[in-house]
Amino acid sequence: MQDRVIVITGASAGIGAALARLIGRKGARPVLLARREKQLTDVASEAGPQALSLVTDVTRREDVRRAVETTLSRLGHIDVWVNNAGRGISRVVSELTTRTSTR
């Protein structure tokens, strides 16, 4: 796991935060994505000196693009991407689209 770049969405709490702390202790380079800046910063400080936190709303394509570009420019590559962020589904699956969020 040493020096692996691991991106974790939903990293400000719960499973994402626990995973960030664990992989940071094992020598990985965690990239933490979440919407809540204060909580994300707190988790990053516990995930070790190599942790990178990026305030990101994964429901917004542009935020995700920016996170990928920032990670690649700072760390050179991504080894693993963990899609941990949760969002409620308010429609039947057959009605879901990949359109950009309007928020």
Q: Are 8 and 31 in contact (CB under 8 A)?
A: yes
Which domain, by its residues, includes 52? 5-85
- 43: in domain: yes
User: Consecutive sets of 10 residues in the chain, 103 residues long: mean pLDDT of each?
Assistant: 95 97 96 97 96 95 97 98 83 74 50
- 102: in domain: no
- 30: in domain: yes
- Domain at 74, CATH number: 3.40.50.720
Residue-level pLDDT at 97 = 75
- 95: in domain: no
Question: 2, 1, 7: which is closest to 74 by C-alpha?
Answer: 7
By CB atoms closer than 10 A (0-12, 13-18, 19+), residue 101 is: exposed
Contact residues for 86 (Cβ-Cβ < 8 A; gap 6+)? 10
Residue-level pLDDT at 62 = 97
- 46: in domain: yes
- 59: in domain: yes
Domain count, the chain: 1
Question: 30, 60, 56, 65: which is closest to 44 by C-alpha?
Answer: 30
